[in-house]
Amino acid sequence: MTDRILADAEATLRRRRAELVAALGRIESALDETPNPDAEDRATEREGDEVLEALGRSDETELRAIDAALARIAEGTYGTCQTCGDTIARERLAAVPTAALCRDCARR
């Protein structure tokens, strides 16, 4: 893998990481808001909180995948399948920059 491809992948991952950290901060702030004293409004807010919590979990999962991909870049193993050791196709990495498995291993 060329230095240029690695640099582009790292920049993409770092940009997305910053977006996720900001989104998680907004979710935390929204969840920390004082509940509405009205029971009906509280029920509606609770439903909204459940959606925010699910989004937060999804963002945290993606953040862990990004951190793992950045670690592979630092270790020099980015673009190598963690299961079989084959090279992960550039097209796959362009579509899924956090990919740790080649297409065949991901399908299994």
pLDDT digits (tens, 9 = 90+) for 30-51: 877 766 666 666 666 777 767 8
Low-confidence ranges of the chain (pLDDT < 70): 34-44, 49
pLDDT of residue 49: 63
pLDDT of residue 61: 95
pLDDT of residue 1: 79
pLDDT of residue 29: 85
Q: Percent of the chain having pLDDT more than 90?
A: 67
Measure CA 19 to chain center.
10
3-state secondary structure of 16: helix
Q: Tell me the sheet residues that pair with 87.
A: 80
Cβ neighbours of 98 (radius 10 Å): 20
pLDDT of residue 40: 67
* This prediction's pTM: 0.80
